């Protein structure tokens, strides 16, 4: 018998080609003449893993995630998606990426379902997009996804400005899944939510990513959430990668180095993955 979510699943780990889902090689970004927002950052995501990018405000998390989808150009270095440089292959390389934004980045004038369908806009004609004339199979898929993330049919057909913060983030997750992504990038997806709602949205993100066999890179500044949800934690401070390990490796000293503004010593020993 088909389970409730069977129809949403891709074959398990279908995208796991052995190539890193996402790789950064000496990624460096300087805005104007300021200090580097990203400073020689290198790491590969492991396919299928849920990796948290942890760091205080201003440490470069958004810059790194935005660079991976081409919204920010690197000053130096390279980003590869499944082995292909995004600079060389551009939009094509990024088609397998779903993005969840901090504030949901939803269109308030559209319904939840229309927001989910908007993920398909780049591959649709502008006329269809303008008139919300999406093919019926896509509309059904959007409805199934919204049901999966816990929205009722009534909520799916409401304008998103009438939804709560948690419901909006659920819509954001459904939209990120619409394109069957191999990779999900989430930029502080729970920053504006209360602690209980934040946990339920993180749980949903992890569960749905697993169902899809999608690799996740999710930025957070909450240590407890990072430890509870991450398979692996990458720590950023002032644009530098200063930690790479599991939650259990985040010792008090390591945490002080990552978040304590007064610490002047070397943040902490980098833990090999
Ligand atoms: N568009 C921009 N123009 C100038 N400086 C920026 C811009 N975006 C980010 N920065 C700077 O880059 C650094 C990293 O910012 P950001 O990537 O937003 O960090 P985080 O997401 O961890 O808070 C900060 O010092 C920030 O002020
Ligand atoms: Mg940010």
- pLDDT at 2 > cutoff 50: no
pLDDT in tens, 182-192: 999 999 999 98
SS3 track for the chain: CCCCCHHHCCCCCCCCCCCCCEEEEEEEEECCCCCEEEEEEEEECCCCCEEEEECCCCCCHHHHHHHHCCCCCCCEEEEEECCEEHHHHHHHHHCCEEEECCCCCCCCCCEHHHHHHHHHHHHCCHHHHHCCCCCHHHHHHHHHHHHHCCCCHHHHCCEHHHCCHHHHHHHHHHHHHCCCCCEEEEECCCCCCCHHHHHHHHHHHHHHHHHHCCEEEEEECCHHHHHHHCCEEEEEECCEEEEEECHHHCCHHHHHHHHCCCCCCCCCCCCCC
Residue 271 has pLDDT above 50, yes or no: no
Query: What's the 259 CA to ligand 2 centre distance in angstroms?
Result: 15
pLDDT tens-place string over residues 227-257: 999 999 999 999 999 999 999 999 888 888 8
**Per-residue pLDDT at 19:** 59
60 lines ligand 1 (CB under 6 A): yes
- Percent of residues, the chain, with pLDDT higher than 70: 83
Q: List, for residues 105-131, the tens digit of each pLDDT value.
A: 899 999 999 999 998 876 777 766 766
- pLDDT of 14: 42
Answer with the residue of higher pLDDT: 90 or 53. Answer: 53
Q: How far is the CA of 57 from the centre of ligand 1 (A)?
A: 9
Q: Is the CB of 37 under 6 A from ligand 1?
A: yes
């Amino acid at each position: 018998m088909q389970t409730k979510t069977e129809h949403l699943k891709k074959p398990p780990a279908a995208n796991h080609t052995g190539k890193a889902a996402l790789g950064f090689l000496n990624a460096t970004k300087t805005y104007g003449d300021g200090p580097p927002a990203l400073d020689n950052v290198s790491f590969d995501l492991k396919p299928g893993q849920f990796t948290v990018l942890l760091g205080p405000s201003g440490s470069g998390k958004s810059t790194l995630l935005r660079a991976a989808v081409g919204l920010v150009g690197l000053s130096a270095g390279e980003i590869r998606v499944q082995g292909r440089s995004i600079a060389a292959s551009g939009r094509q390389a990024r088609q397998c990426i779903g993005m969840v934004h901090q504030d949901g980045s939803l269109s308030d004038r559209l319904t939840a379902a229309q927001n989910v369908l908007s993920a398909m806009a780049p591959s649709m004609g502008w006329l269809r997009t303008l008139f919300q004339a999406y093919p019926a199979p896509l509309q059904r898929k959007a409805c199934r996804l919204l049901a999966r993330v816990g929205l009722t049919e009534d909520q799916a057909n409401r304008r998103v400005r009438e939804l709560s913060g948690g419901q909006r983030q659920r819509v954001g997750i459904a939209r990120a899944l619409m394109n069957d992504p191999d990779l999900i990038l989430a930029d502080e997806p729970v920053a504006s939510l209360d602690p209980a709602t934040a946990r339920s949205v993180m749980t949903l993100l992890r569960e749905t990513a697993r169902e899809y066999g999608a690799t996740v890179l999710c930025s957070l500044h909450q240590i407890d959430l990072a430890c509870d949800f991450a398979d692996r934690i990458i720590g950023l401070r002032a644009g530098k990668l200063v930690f790479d390990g599991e939650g259990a490796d985040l010792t008090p000293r390591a945490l002080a180095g990552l978040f304590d503004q007064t610490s002047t010593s070397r943040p902490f020993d980098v833990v090999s993955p």
